[in-house]
A and B are shown apart, each in its own frame.
Chain A
Amino acid sequence: METAMYMRREVIGDSKVNVTEQPVDVLPLARAIAEAKNMKDNDEAFMIINLDALYERFKLWKRELPQIEPFYAVKCNSDETMVQALAALGVGFDCASREEIDIVMRMGVAQERIIYANPCKTRSFIAHAEEKGVTMMTFDNAEELEKIAKHHKCPELILRIAVSDPTATCPLNLKFGAEPVKQAPELLKRAADLGIAVIGVSFHVGSGCNDPSAYRVALGHARNLFDLGLGLGHKMEIVDIGGGFPGGEHHTPFEQIAALIRSAVGEFFPEPEVRLIAEPGRFFAARPFTLVANVIAHTAVPAEKITKNACDAAATGHMYYINDGVYGSFNCILFDHAHPTGRPLFDIEGEKYPSTIWGPTCDSLDQIEDKKMMRALDVGDWLIYEVRYICRSIIDRYRTPTIDNRPDDRNLIARSLQDMGAYTCAASTTFNGFQRPTPIYVIGERTWKALGM
């Protein structure tokens, strides 16, 4: 149905990828696909995966942090076509499970480009890593160290330390990572006593880092531990600066974070022989994904029911139910402090009403948007979604309690429409029966050539 929109089709792995002559323009493409679906009475939600956007993120990384090798955090989004495109660009992979190791190796990625970084490693997972030839893995306590020594013949361990940015959108559990001043040196010594090779130090400042100075503090600790490890006979050669890099617009732009990291790396690790790696997830995965979902049910209600304001009792509000929700692509709402902001796919002028958007499950948690001002929709209409990571204070300001004092939601819709990929498909593609939106992969001719696939 959509072939007329594309120049030709290619294949990445098991997926068909639509190649366009010009760089991909997602909004008109989404509209064309929706119109084609309407002609066929097909109301299934679809996800446009724009590989041009993925390549742009890769180029941005290479421009800002050329000395740091990205190891994509597969848990963020395990879409196999995206993983294969990243593999073609030479990216390494941070895997947190057996399943993720298998996905990445099925894409032809060599085990040397994989780091196994689950914070809670069971014996069977360690044995699986050994069976697959994956040697690089993190550790942060003595029990884990001894378990790896027992169940893996030739591990190359990276000591994970706990240095977290407390202002990060999603700070990591401080239990994940050894305390860097007292506990971490003891672990290096214990590893030396056991004859286990430690090859580096890693940390993770937390997702959505707001205070990039956390990287500098962490790199300072890593330097100390590097020197200590070298003194104990470990062949220290890797510094893993973890993740936490924003996937879209953020309070602290990626460029600003990168500048601080470059400066801190130059200060603490000027030696060119030190291998610097990172574990970006949302940095790559957030932008390329755009969800388009269909309204499958609608109820008109007193606006008061939505705004919770008695003044709105006589006004009309609307509740819409769409065919994707928090147990599918909107999983990021539950865990990731994400606030997806949808809008009707087709621009039609009309009076705006307080509206609530629900997923399809009739579950009280399955709410996607609340107190949203939007024109009236019918069953069968389409909504297009991105994910915005914006200040809580801004969200609160826009969620004012009355109808009259609320700005147009479009003020919140930023330039890009492609921000729906972080911590979404990873949750929605596994064994739990979530219905995944139909994926539609698109790539511009120039990017296709750059991938060299």
Chain B
Amino acid sequence: MSSSIVLSNNNSNSNSMSMIGQSPPCCSDVPNTPASEEMTRMVKNVVASWEWVPLGKDKVGIIIPADQDHRQVHKSRFVDLLEFCDETMKVKEVIAVFGRADLTVAAGFPRTLRYVGFRVVAPENFPPTLDATTHFAMTYVV
């Protein structure tokens, strides 16, 4: 996964996500390292359609479709991913990123994440590469 990931509010894709090769007003490139490749495998192991991006030095963003059904998320694999972020990626925060289009916060996957310990990120505290007007983010301290 070497191209940039653009999160777009206007995309008709259910997860409001597209991958294009130009520099976007959002996320930077995923580095091509063994740890990154393993991270991609861990993310895909939770849900195949999920993506990830580094968000600065000590944060990673997990890009989750707005309409993610919690019943399709394997809990143990999700915990494995959090542990990988902690122990191998050595990040301080894991940020769940959703496109705002079609997102239902109270009834959707964000609510499930809150039970796990994720908290809402206020727009003014978004990582600079992420557009707060088109995304909703929750952060988890590992």
Chain A interface (Cβ within 8 Å of chain B)? 75, 96-97, 99, 118-124, 141, 143-144, 170, 172-176, 326-328, 331, 334-337, 361, 363-365, 427, 430-434
Interface magnitude class on chain B = 20 to 34
Give the distance to chain B from A151, nearest Cβ to Cβ, in Å.
11
| Stretch of B29-37, B57-65, B106-114 at the chain-chain interface | B106-114
Q: Determine whether the beta carbon of A122 is less than 8 Å from that of B70.
A: no
Give the distance to chain B from A212, nearest Cβ to Cβ, in Å.
22
Closest partner residue, chain A, to B84 (CB atom) = A122
B52 at interface, CB cutoff 8 A:
no
Q: Determine whether the beta carbon of A427 is less than 8 Å from that of B120.
A: yes
Determine the distance from Cα of A331 to Cα of B114 in the docked complex, in whole angstroms: 11
* Interface membership of chain B positions 89-122, coded 1 if the CB is closer than 8 angstroms to chain A and 0 otherwise: 0000000000010000110001110111101111
Determine the distance from Cα of A170 to Cα of B111 in the docked complex, in whole angstroms: 9
Contact A172/B115 with A335-B105, A363-B132 known, Cβ cut-off 8 Å = yes
Give the distance to chain B from A164, nearest Cβ to Cβ, in Å.
12
* Chain B residue contacts of A174, Cβ below 8 A: 71
Other A-B pairs beyond A119-B115, A120-B117, 7, CB < 8 Å: A96-B115, A122-B82, A172-B115, A175-B75, A328-B122, A335-B111, A365-B105
Q: Determine whether the beta carbon of A334 is less than 8 Å from that of B120.
A: yes
Determine the distance from Cα of A430 to Cα of B79 in the docked complex, in whole angstroms: 22
Q: Determine whether the beta carbon of A431 is less than 8 Å from that of B141.
A: yes
Determine the distance from Cα of A328 to Cα of B112 in the docked complex, in whole angstroms: 20
Closest partner residue, chain B, to A143 (CB atom) = B76
A-B contact pairs, 5 of them (CB 8 A): A96-B117, A122-B86, A141-B75, A327-B122, A331-B120
Closest partner residue, chain A, to B116 (CB atom) = A120
Instruction: Give chain A's interface secondary structure class.
Output: loop
Contact A363/B83 with A122-B142, A173-B115 known, Cβ cut-off 8 Å = no
Closest partner residue, chain A, to B86 (CB atom) = A124
Q: Determine whether the beta carbon of B115 is less than 8 Å from that of A334.
A: no
* Chain A residue contacts of B106, Cβ below 8 A: 170, 334-337
Give the distance to chain B from A431, nearest Cβ to Cβ, in Å.
7
B13 at interface, CB cutoff 8 A:
no
Determine the distance from Cα of A175 to Cα of B106 in the docked complex, in whole angstroms: 17
Give the distance to chain B from A303, nearest Cβ to Cβ, in Å.
27
Determine the distance from Cα of A360 to Cα of B95 in the docked complex, in whole angstroms: 23
* Chain A residue contacts of B133, Cβ below 8 A: 363-364
* Chain A residue contacts of B114, Cβ below 8 A: 335
* Chain A residue contacts of B56, Cβ below 8 A: none
Q: Determine whether the beta carbon of B139 is less than 8 Å from that of A432.
A: yes
Give the distance to chain B from A80, nearest Cβ to Cβ, in Å.
17
Give the distance to chain A from B131, nearest Cβ to Cβ, in Å.
12
Q: Determine whether the beta carbon of A361 is less than 8 Å from that of B123.
A: yes
* Contacting residue for B83 out of A123, A172, A431, A432, CB 8 A: A123
